[in-house]
A = this chain, B = another copy of it.
Amino acid sequence: MQLNNTSKYAIRILSYISNKGQCSAKELSEKLSIPYKFLTKITTELVKADFILSIRGREGGYKLSRESCNITIMEILKHFNEFNHQKECLLGIGMCDGKNKCGMHDQWAKPKKMIQDMFENTTIENLEKNSYKI
């Protein structure tokens, strides 16, 4: 019941960039304690997905490609396959809906809704500032 590392890193990276305006991969790696090579792999992915834009060459770095209030956590998680849309029931094997319930379908319904709403309504702007310090 946790996010995978890539998703976690992505959120923290976007949050840091948002607070700094622009910054290099080197700075991100050091401040967020994310292995440099792994970090650039993720940032490259974030560029392709248009969350950030890259400035190459000397004095380069990354910037948000949109306003932080327009980047929801849900969007990030979906990009990194954290939500499989349909079946996302806890024990979900095959299709799990109102008719074909998994064992925990009813109990899971409320918390699930709450989490989804939270991820949809939370944007990079809303995140605790300086959370990267932890």
- Indicate if the CB atoms of B134 and A96 lie closer than 8 Å: yes
Which of A1, A94, A96, A132 has the most chain B CB within a 10 Å cutoff? A1
- Indicate if the CB atoms of B2 and A92 lie closer than 8 Å: yes
Interface string of A1-44 (1 = CB under 8 A from B): 11100001001100100000000000000000100000000000
- Indicate if the CB atoms of B94 and A122 lie closer than 8 Å: no
Q: Which residues of B contact A49 (CB under 8 A)?
A: none
A111 to B122, CA, bound (A): 13
Question: Which partner residue on chain B sits nearest A33 by CB separation?
Answer: B93
Interface size class of A (residues with CB under 8 A): 35 or more
A12 to B90, CA, bound (A): 11
- Indicate if the CB atoms of A103 and B1 lie closer than 8 Å: no
Question: Which partner residue on chain B sits nearest A127 by CB separation?
Answer: B103
Given contacts A73-B104, A114-B111, contact A94 B134 (CB under 8 A): yes
Q: Pick 8 A–B contacts, CB within 8 A, sort by A.
A: A11-B103, A93-B134, A95-B134, A102-B128, A103-B132, A108-B118, A111-B111, A114-B114
